[in-house]
Structure 1
Amino acid sequence: MTGDSGNISDYMLKTAEMIIRVAEVVDVEKAGTLISEILSGRRIYVTGAGRSGLVAKAFAIRLMHLGFPCYVIGETITPAFDSGDMLAVFSGSGETKSVVSAVEKVRELEGWTCLITANPNSQAAGYVDLVIDLGESSGNSADLPPEYEVRQITGQYRSVSVPIGRGSAFEMVALAYSDAIISALMAARHLDPDEVRLRFSNI
């Protein structure tokens, strides 16, 4: 391949370096709080919009593999939420209307909520119990348009500063973070990988 496509290995290394930079400054106490809430026996709900929603679903699958009761908001088989449940939200901006509505509703229902974001000063952050910051915030969240699609198309998306797609940066860091949470949960429960594999899809 010729032209300005760049070296694929270099782009991959820059992505890895970005994840390392965030990992070096991530708040381990807040991670511990999230892990404790998951281990507390609560039913776990997850949500997110667009690609962040796919990261949320990946997290849900891994939690199911570990034997935790986990549901994705919006799916047809997702049961009603109650005060003993928790919600994990993945949103780079923390301004997406569907995400803000979800955390507002969970607050009304007196559930426990965690926001995993690149914008700890966002609207959604004001409604949750725990904010996990995986990005570098700058500017005023009010400057961001509330519609997810508009932010993606126009590039108005606050995230980790790297020479790759700004939205993609958050999602890659969030995926690595959520997988690290899964590893910690496996260690806490003393789960054997063979036992986990028994819950993998076989149909």
Structure 2
Amino acid sequence: MSSSCFVYFCVFVFNRWSNTRQSMASESSSDSMSILAAKICNQINSVFTKSTSTPSPLQITVDEIASAAARCGKIFVYGVGREGLMMKALCMRLAHLGLSAHCVGDMTTPPISSSDLLIASAGPGGFSTVDAICGVAKSNGGRVLLLTAQPETGSSVKYASVVAYVAAQTMADDGDEGTSASLLPMGSVYEGALFVLFEMVVYKLVHVLGQNPDQIRSRHTNLE
């Protein structure tokens, strides 16, 4: 990029930024941080108020993790992109609860066996990598819990031992004709729903596994 083009680019960015600031400053109170946060939280909350098959994704996930813990099995998690970040957040809390929890892809991840559980997420129904990982887990006798918003059409479903339906918008239906406009783009609603779901899962598991705050806190790393 020539120096003159760069200058024009900087001027353009500055003007856009300046106009955006003026626009934000003139916004009504309906667009305040607290109101916007409430709108986003309400949209994520709506995922859990929709009529879905029973048992709920919360009950399924708690039951599967508790069963794996009862048989002294390891728990593996896997997801891609922002879904993967939510899975890693769950994995950290499972480790805090004293479970043998591992993120697929880490250099220290052990092999999966018949006593173990893989929890995988494929919001739009399937990803090539999720399909592959679930296939490997299944072929080695592991139990596969799949979290998805597309339980009927997803390519990952055929590898699942059990499917937890999270009825949220994903990239698969973002912007579909006939659907109401969403505050959040692409798969953000699904990803936010995963985070909330996993917080509920951990809340339930604390009681199921008989853990207390001191025990949970004692397992947090001191290398940070």
Cα distance change on mapping 1:185 and 1:27 into 2, 3 Å: farther
Distance 1:156 1:58 in 2: 21
| SS of corresponding position for 2:135 | helix
Q: Is residue 129 from structure 1 mapped to residue 129 from structure 2 by the alignment?
A: no
Deviation of residue 190 (structure 1)? 2.5
Residue in structure 2 matched with residue 75 of structure 1 by the alignment: 106
After superposition, where does 1:22-37 map in structure 2 within 5 Å? 22-25=47-50, 29-30=55-56, 31-37=58-64
The alignment's TM-score, normalised by the length of structure 2, stands at 0.75
Give the letter for the 2:166 counterpart. Answer: L
Give the letter for the 2:190 counterpart. Answer: F
Residue in structure 2 matched with residue 101 of structure 1 by the alignment: 132
- Contact persistence 2:86–2:195 (CA under 8 A): yes
Deviation of residue 156 (structure 1)? 4.5
Q: Is residue 2 from structure 1 mapped to residue 22 from structure 2 by the alignment?
A: yes
Residue in structure 1 matched with residue 172 of structure 2 by the alignment: 157
Give the letter for the 1:131 counterpart. Answer: V
Residue in structure 2 matched with residue 12 of structure 1 by the alignment: 37
Deviation of residue 3 (structure 1)? 2.3
- Contact persistence 1:27–1:132 (CA under 8 A): no
- Contact persistence 2:74–2:116 (CA under 8 A): yes
Q: Is residue 39 from structure 1 mapped to residue 66 from structure 2 by the alignment?
A: yes
Cα distance change on mapping 1:200 and 1:10 into 2, 3 Å: same
The alignment's TM-score, normalised by the length of structure 1, stands at 0.82
Q: 1:179 aligns with which of 179, 199, 204?
A: 199
Residue in structure 2 matched with residue 56 of structure 1 by the alignment: 87
Q: Is residue 110 from structure 1 mapped to residue 141 from structure 2 by the alignment?
A: yes
| SS of corresponding position for 1:115 | strand
Distance 1:64 1:191 in 2: 12
Deviation of residue 71 (structure 1)? 0.6
Distance 2:195 2:45 in 1: 13
Deviation of residue 124 (structure 1)? 0.5
The superposition leaves residues 126-162 of structure 1 with CA deviations (integer Å, 9 ceiling, x where unpaired) of 220111111257xxxxxxxxxxxxxxxxx95336973
Distance 2:34 2:205 in 1: 32
Give the letter for the 1:127 counterpart. Answer: Y
- Contact persistence 2:144–2:161 (CA under 8 A): yes
Residue-pair matches, total: 186
Distance 1:125 1:18 in 2: 26
Deviation of residue 34 (structure 1)? 2.6
Give the letter for the 1:73 counterpart. Answer: V
| SS of corresponding position for 2:124 | coil
Deviation of residue 19 (structure 1)? 2.5
Question: What is the root-mean-square deviation of aligned Cα atoms in Å?
Answer: 2.3
The superposition leaves residues 33-77 of structure 1 with CA deviations (integer Å, 9 ceiling, x where unpaired) of 332221222210000001100000000000000001011111000
Return 5+ residue gaps in structure 1 as ranges. 138-154
| SS of corresponding position for 1:77 | coil
